[in-house]
Amino acid sequence: MENYIEIFQNEIFLKSIWNTVKWTVVNLIVQLVMAILLALALNQKLKGRFVYRTLILVPWAVPHAIAAMTFTFLYNANVGIINVVAMKLGAITEPISWLGNVGSAFWCVIIVAIWKGIPFQMIFILAALQGIPGDVYEGAQIDGANKWQTFWKITLPIIKEPLAISTILNLIGIVSCFNTIWLMTKGGPLYSTEIIYTFAYREAFINHNFGTAAAASVILFIFMAVFSGIYLHKVSEKE
């Protein structure tokens, strides 16, 4: 119990809780919206649809370490292409250390997580969309429903179960994200990208405070177990 009392008096841990919440909410909402939009677009009869699907799946196939190293290079203050392009366009007057700046580091890492996370959820949604019979939409058109009404009244209610399951699975992946943050910023600068996962790792293997790390891990486990329970309930209900 002393470990739990101590950890909740730790300002870095309290900051990591807030970062974890912010990290989860932003990732979850943006990935969900983008995944739905892409799935709806790729469910249409587009020329070269197979190529588009393959390209969108590329981020999912790229290992976290490769993605982190690639984006770290892109964000580099001296040779990163982001600074080079921004300076040529006149958006900035001097190079910016994107990952070394407290105000930008968190959002830079989130962009990478979103880029990697969208394809996973999009696959679930696209598979659900392809299972909707065409005559359902034909009936809606006959009744005079527009595209917006069709989406809210027909598409969304039909795919709500796979959408819920994919969202919960994605949420678990977002909360347990470690590689991207650690490889790009190690929780810095000034713990601006520190989440509970990186806090526990730092306490255990760098600071050697195993009691504190264990307490943080248990708190993270409880948080994850709640959502895992929801997921298992949804799956058993669907079966």
Q: Hey, where are the domains in the chain?
A: 2-238
Q: Which pTM was predicted?
A: 0.88
Tokens representing residue 157 in the block? 């209610």
How far is the C-alpha of 198 from the C-alpha of 182, rounded, in Å?
7
Fold held by 2-238: MetI-like fold (1.10.3720)
pLDDT band, very low/low/confident/very high, at 187 (cuts 50, 70, 90): very high
Stretch 154-180: mean pLDDT = 87
DSSP state of 99: G
How far is the C-alpha of 43 from the C-alpha of 153, rounded, in Å?
18
Q: Is a pLDDT exceeding 90 seen at residue 168?
A: no
Stretch 43-68: mean pLDDT = 87
Q: What is the pLDDT of residues 95-132, one digit of tens each?
A: 999 999 999 999 999 999 999 999 989 998 999 998 88
Q: What are phi and psi for residue 185, nearest 5 degrees?
A: -135, -15
Q: Which of 122, 110, 223 is nearest to 166 (CA)?
A: 122
Q: Are 72 and 183 in contact (CB under 8 A)?
A: yes
Q: Which of 213, 210, 199 is nearest to 16 (CA)?
A: 199
Q: Are 113 and 27 in contact (CB under 8 A)?
A: yes
Q: Is a pLDDT exceeding 70 seen at residue 237?
A: no
Tokens representing residue 132 in the block? 């909707």
pLDDT band, very low/low/confident/very high, at 206 (cuts 50, 70, 90): very high
Q: Where are the alpha helices (DSSP H) in 78-195?
A: 81-89, 102-130, 134-142, 147-150, 156-158, 160-175, 179-184
Tell me the Cα Rg of the chain: 21
Who wins on pLDDT, 150 or 112?
112
3-state secondary structure of 176: coil
